[in-house]
Amino acid sequence: MTEYNFAYLDEATKRMIRRALLKAVAIPGYQVPFSSREMPMPYGWGTGGVQVTAACLVPEDSLKVIDQGADDTTNAVSIRSFFEKVAGVATTESTADASVIQTRHRIPEAPLVAGQILVFQVPIPEPLRFLEPRETETRTMHALEDYGLMQVRLYEDIARHGEIARAYAYPVKVEGRYVMDPSPIPKFDNPKLNMSPALQLFGAGRECRIYALPPFTRVESLDFEDYPFTPSKAAGHDCAICGAQDSYLDEVITDDSGGRMFVCSDTDYCATRAAQMEANA
């Protein structure tokens, strides 16, 4: 571990990110601008998350990285090996054993505990961006707490589709103030954001934004009294491997003739359950 400065980034960059993180924690749900660096991976591969993780890591950490719930996909494996190399930290696939978890688009099924840090990779941090493309305008809308446009959008969904037609990146309101994009996690995961004992940090590298949810912060998914928010997943299936009924499922195509199976998206949760079932059998 003499080839790199600890955790890759130089110290001035880490201080800049750390200051942004502290302000993000102090203003839950507000997107703090930061001077995102070029990382040795393309945008869209988690450059924001990697910078946040690098600024938070200590040598004693045990790092878990998941991509859509899986520990064994390219993005997860390469980020894990990146930090093994540049920070010398231990890595794990176990949610319970991890002190820092970097995630792309899922929150682990196993409940997070106090002391854990969950780092989200965020592609587009601005929840209002597809409603209003101008940054100057969305910034003013956040400042004025003017979220009517978002409510109209949800209403139009109901008018057209009979329901709020958003399965992921479902907008939330933090502590009754800032509307926040929870990153493209399935809305199934939204309830896990609320009052989590873990610290949740969000890094958007290309868009140069950091935001945060301190532990035990109120996070409500936007909805209407007569159309309440419902966390949803593939209906009518259990996991084909571990039989879980309560986990978020991936649909996997198994052949060319329409064969398919539904399995847990969280590979650690599924493998842990499968191992338990085998031990009990």
Partner 1 sequence: MDGLTPGFASPAVDAAHAFRAVLDTMAHPGRLVTLDGPAAPVPCSQAACVALLTLADATTPLHLAGAHDCKGMRDWVAFHLGAPLVGRSEAVFALGTWHALGPLAAYPQGVPDYPDRSATLIVEMADLQANGTRLTGPGIEDAAYLSLPDTDALRANASRFPLGLDFLFTHGAQLAALPRTTKLGDG
Q: Give the other-Cβ count within 10 Å of 225's Cβ.
A: 5
Which tokens go with 100? Answer: 């820092």
Asked if residue 26 binds partner 1 (CB under 8 A), the reply is yes
Q: What type of residue is 277?
A: M
Asked if residue 175 binds partner 1 (CB under 8 A), the reply is yes
E strands within 129-218?
Answer: 172-174, 178-180, 199-204, 209-213
For residue 64, the 8-state DSSP code is: E
Asked if residue 172 binds partner 1 (CB under 8 A), the reply is no
Output 4 or 155, the one with its CB closest to partner 1: 4
In the block, tokens 């493998």 appear at 271
Residues 6+ apart with CB under 8 A from 256: none
Asked if residue 15 binds partner 1 (CB under 8 A), the reply is yes
Chain centroid to CA 74: how far?
Answer: 17
Asked if residue 132 binds partner 1 (CB under 8 A), the reply is no
Site for partner 1 in 204-223 (CB under 8 A): 213-218
- Which one of residues 2, 3, 12, 236 is an interface residue with partner 1 (CB under 8 A)? 12
Asked if residue 63 binds partner 1 (CB under 8 A), the reply is no
- The pairing of beta strand 178-180 with beta strand 90-91: unpaired
- Which one of residues 39, 50, 56, 263 is an interface residue with partner 1 (CB under 8 A)? 56
From 29, 46, 48, 205, the catalytic residue:
29
- Which one of residues 40, 59, 111, 133 is an interface residue with partner 1 (CB under 8 A)? 59
Phi-psi region of 169 (alpha: psi -120 to 50; beta: other; left: phi over 0): left
Nearest to 122 by CA among 70, 180, 161, 38: 180
Active site residue 29: yes
Asked if residue 165 binds partner 1 (CB under 8 A), the reply is no
Residues forming the site for partner 1 (CB under 8 A): 5-7, 11-12, 14-16, 18-28, 30, 32-33, 55-59, 139-140, 142-144, 175, 177-178, 197, 199, 213-218
Residues annotated catalytic, as ranges: 29, 239, 242, 264, 270
